[in-house]
């Protein structure tokens, strides 16, 4: 498989979705999100701007906004979904328009650098043998005085930190591609244009950063290609996922959405969840009352110097024990005790195998495979079932 930043990110965000889309090739009539729709239109407008600027035609802001209107009308369709219900089509339309205006005013007459290409496809290998292949599209590549630039237009409504961008994978990939394509590049600058914020963020990568990126990406690709399990990882992105019917985390939402009001209230899952939430609420109130009485019992027992209190059919025993408390893990004091006990040869008397951590290591294969295989021989597989209750989030409510 040829990988791209978005493919790798798809796996990192949710292995199940990655599997359904890229390994099982389950095609879905993609309901395009309004965010993606706006992003595409804005990219098309800026592509026109720079392609035509190269041929000495400078678009006015009016030209670009008219083109945006035209693209919007031509491409709008009823399958475009708006997940954030407090915003409507007009809000998003204006949001994209504002981004174009911001960009235009900041950069006209667009002669800061010379554009080499827009929406430029790049391919490169992560290794000498060409086993690990990466592909991608750079929004715009430009140069000035031997300095190359990879430009990325961002049309979202959130701004990442500089620290986040300094470790961003996507544009660093593009730096590798640019350096391979134009070895004369003295420097490559990675530039993100956050249109809604009228702000540019810039980052640079040193050769050692790129080498590390290559190694990390190879490790990730190996992990993907040897994966046996593809867990569903729930996140805010689920609201835009095209496979809710195939996902154990979202299947029930999908089923009840299509039931209609009558069917919804008759659904077994809905009524069980409602019952469970009701009982859990009652239990919480009772627990609060129990804690108040427990506190009163302790105060009574201490005041009267009584250890066992008699009731009609029950008795309550109050036991006060004191124990030594030692510093928690990851503290310097804890490290000092660890080392003292090891030096004194007493470590094994008080240390214990952390079975939870060991199980996690085996599941995530973070040790050498041969060691994990040996450890696994001592383990038996056992399922534990937990049931958690929580409030629906704003996108999950009807």
**In the bound complex, what is the minimum distance in angstroms from residue 20's beta carbon to ligand SF4?**
7
Structure tokens at 304: 């009267």
The answer to whether the CB of 141 falls within 8 A of the CB of 148 is yes
Give the nearest distance from C-beta 16 to ligand SF4 in angstroms: 4
241 binds ligand SF4 (CB under 6 A): yes
**120 part of the interface to ligand SF4, by CB under 6 A:** no
Distance from C-alpha of 154 to C-alpha of 99, rounded to nearest angstrom: 9
Q: Does 243 bind ligand SF4 (CB under 6 A)?
A: yes
Q: Calculate the alpha carbon distances from 129 to 35, 220, 222, 229, 263 in Å.
A: 39, 17, 15, 28, 58
Which of 70, 147, 157, 237 is close enough to bind ligand SF4 by CB under 6 A?
237
In the bound state with ligand SF4, the residue whose beta carbon lies nearer, of 119 and 242, is 242
Minimal distance, residue 256 CB to ligand SF4, in Å = 15
**234 near ligand SF4, rule: CB under 6 A:** yes
Backbone angles phi, psi at 139, to 5 degrees: -55, -45
Out of 7, 17, 154, 189, name the contact with ligand SF4 by CB under 6 A. Answer: 17
Q: Which two tokens stand for residue 279?
A: 């009982």
Residue choice 45, 100, 221, 232 for contact with ligand SF4 (CB under 6 A): 232
Site for ligand SF4 (CB under 6 A): which residue of 244, 256, 267, 362?
244
Cα→Cα distances 298→302, 304, 311, Å: 6, 10, 15
Q: Interface with ligand SF4 includes 250 (CB under 6 A)?
A: yes
Q: Considering the rule CB under 6 A, would residue 189 count as an interface residue with ligand SF4?
A: no
- Contact set for ligand SF4, span 262-321 (CB under 6 A): none
Sequence-separated (6 or more) residues with CB below 8 Å from residue 20 = 26, 243, 246
11 binds ligand SF4 (CB under 6 A): no
If one asks whether residue 252 binds ligand SF4 (CB under 6 A), the answer comes out as no
Element (H or E) spanning 249, and its range? Answer: none
Unique residue bearing structure tokens 């035209």? 70
- Give CA torsion, residues 208, 214, 216, 220, to 10 deg: 170
* Residues found near ligand SF4 in the complex (CB under 6 A): 14, 16-17, 232-234, 237-238, 241, 243-244, 247, 249-250
């Amino acid at each position: 498989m040829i990988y791209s930043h978005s493919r790798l990110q798809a796996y990192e965000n949710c292995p199940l979705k990655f599997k359904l889309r890229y390994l099982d090739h389950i095609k879905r009539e993609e309901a395009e999100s309004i965010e993606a729709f706006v992003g595409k239109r804005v990219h098309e407008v800026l592509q026109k701007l720079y392609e035509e600027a190269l041929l000495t035609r400078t678009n006015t802001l009016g030209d670009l906004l008219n083109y945006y209107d035209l693209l919007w009308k031509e491409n709008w369709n009823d399958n475009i979904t708006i997940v954030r219900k407090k915003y409507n089509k007009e809000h998003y339309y204006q949001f994209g328009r504002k981004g174009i205006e911001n960009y235009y005013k900041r950069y006209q007459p667009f002669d800061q650098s010379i554009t080499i290409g827009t929406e430029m496809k790049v391919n490169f290998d992560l290794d000498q043998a060409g086993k690990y292949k990466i592909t991608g599209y750079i929004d715009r590549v430009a140069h000035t005085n031997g300095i190359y630039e990879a430009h990325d237009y961002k049309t979202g409504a959130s701004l990442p930190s500089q620290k986040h961008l300094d470790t961003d994978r996507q544009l660093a990939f593009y730096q590798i591609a640019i350096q391979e394509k134009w070895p004369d590049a003295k420097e490559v600058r990675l530039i993100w244009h956050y249109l809604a914020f009228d702000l540019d963020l810039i980052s640079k990568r040193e050769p050692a950063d790129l080498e590390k990126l290559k190694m990390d990406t190879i490790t990730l690709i190996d992990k993907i290609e040897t994966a046996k399990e593809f867990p569903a990882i729930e996140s805010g992105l689920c609201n835009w996922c095209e496979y809710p019917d195939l996902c154990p985390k979202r299947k029930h939402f999908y089923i009840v959405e299509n039931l209609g009001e009558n069917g919804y209230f008759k659904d077994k899952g809905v009524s069980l969840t409602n019952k469970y939430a009701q009982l859990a609420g009652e239990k919480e109130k009772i627990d609060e009352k129990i804690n108040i009485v427990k506190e009163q019992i302790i105060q009574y027992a201490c005041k009267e110097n009584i250890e066992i209190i008699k009731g009609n059919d029950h008795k309550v025993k109050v036991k006060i024990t004191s124990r030594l408390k030692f510093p928690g893990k990851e503290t310097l004091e804890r490290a000092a005790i660890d080392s003292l006990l090891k030096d004194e040869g007493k470590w094994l008397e008080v240390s214990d195998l952390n079975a939870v951590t060991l199980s996690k290591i085996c599941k995530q294969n973070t040790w050498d495979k041969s060691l994990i295989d040996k450890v696994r021989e001592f383990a038996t597989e056992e399922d534990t079932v937990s049931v958690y209750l929580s409030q629906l989030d704003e996108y999950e409510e009807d």
